[in-house]
Structure 1
Amino acid sequence: MPSALDQTMTPESPITTIAHVIQLSVAPVFLLTGIGAMLGVMTSRLARIVDRARVLEGPKTNDSTSQEKAAEELVRLSRRARLISASIGLCTLTALLVSAVIAILFLGAFLTFDAAVLVAMLFVAAMLAFIVALLFFLREVFIAISGLRFGYR
């Protein structure tokens, strides 16, 4: 004989399951928005680095001091470009991993398998990639600031 508890519990309807998965995926979607904004900032910085390098690699002057300064700055720009490129790659990886988390949340709900461990592992991997990307970005900013010379000509 079914108990009173069994009679009050109804199985979740498909729409309830979908609504629950959408609720779970809202935070990762907002995270994707933030990652997209970071990618925009980073690609803008990379574009400025490339533009500055093109100016420095343009027509050379006969002044050896100017050429030495340009060579030093080109080395610094090359280092910055490598760091920001790595950061862009890691942010892109982060976005892909977060997108995979969202997809697996839905697949787990529809195919009724326990995706908790896989989702947790992918999310941790995404956060680790994002942390490293931010550290590379921070290093690039420090290099950019160290190269500033206000008031010198």
Structure 2
Amino acid sequence: MPDFVIPGDIAHVIQIAIAPVFLLAGIGAFLNVMTNRLGRVVDRWRSLEAELSGCDDARRRIYVTELGILDRRMAHSNRAIALSTLAALLVCVVIIFLFTGQLLHVSVTRAVSILFIAAMSVLVTALLSFLLEIRISSRTLRVARDTLKHRT
């Protein structure tokens, strides 16, 4: 017989907490994608900003327009990152409540339900913000393709 035996109640709480832990892993992967996209937008912003000072008026208008688009993309990315982080924090609180309720023998069913619903709502909002950022990005690429078609 093993020296360490997990009591049935705590084993059940660990089983219940596994799903939110997987959700945390998914949110972490999403945050990784979002921060990489934001980094690329910031890099493009910096390169345009550096070129802005030494260009003619026509090129300046094009760069300023693109900077406006990049600004909107950054806003959506930042919002998605902030909301995803909040969702991850709420999921962490759910896990804490699950274990605290078991340790203190207090019913946390309502609090866990409300927190989980809040986490999912915040995550949905983050995903919508991410979708808007992708939409702006792909619309910009489509315009570039149309410009290339007119030049040939």
Q: What TM-score do the two structures reach when normalised by structure 2?
A: 0.89
Shift of 1:146: 1.0
* Structure in which a larger fraction of residues adopt helix: 2
Distance of 2:21 and 2:32 partners within structure 1: 17
Aligned to 2:129: 136
Q: Say what the alpha-carbon RMSD is for the aligned residues.
A: 1.5
Which portions of structure 1, spanning 4 or more consecutive aligned residues, are displaced by more than 3 angstroms? none
Distance of 1:94 and 1:58 partners within structure 2: 36
Aligned to 1:77: 70
Q: What TM-score do the two structures reach when normalised by structure 1?
A: 0.88
Identical residues among aligned pairs (%): 45
How many residue pairs match? The answer is 141
Measured against aligned partners, the alpha-carbon deviations of 1:6-46 in whole angstroms (never above 9, x if no partner) come to xxxxxxx9711110000000000000000000000000011
Distance of 1:74 and 1:89 partners within structure 2: 22
Q: What are the equivalent positions in structure 2 for 1:16-95 lying under 5 Å apart?
A: 16-59=8-51, 60-95=53-88
Distance of 1:132 and 1:113 partners within structure 2: 31
Q: What are the equivalent positions in structure 2 for 1:140-151 lying under 5 Å apart?
A: 140-148=133-141, 149-150=144-145
Work out which of the two has the higher radius of gyration on C-alpha atoms and give 1 or 2: 1
Measured against aligned partners, the alpha-carbon deviations of 1:27-73 in whole angstroms (never above 9, x if no partner) come to 00000000000000000011001000000000333322111110000
Q: What are the equivalent positions in structure 2 for 1:118-133 lying under 5 Å apart?
A: 118-133=111-126
Q: What are the equivalent positions in structure 2 for 1:99-118 lying under 5 Å apart?
A: 99-118=92-111
Distance of 2:97 and 2:89 partners within structure 1: 12
Which amino acid letter does the alignment assign opposite residue 130 of structure 2?
A: F
Distance of 1:89 and 1:126 partners within structure 2: 12
1:61 aligned counterpart, secondary structure: coil
Distance of 1:52 and 1:128 partners within structure 2: 32
Distance of 2:8 and 2:107 partners within structure 1: 17
Shift of 1:89: 0.3
Stretch deviating more after TM superposition (51-60 or 86-95):
51-60
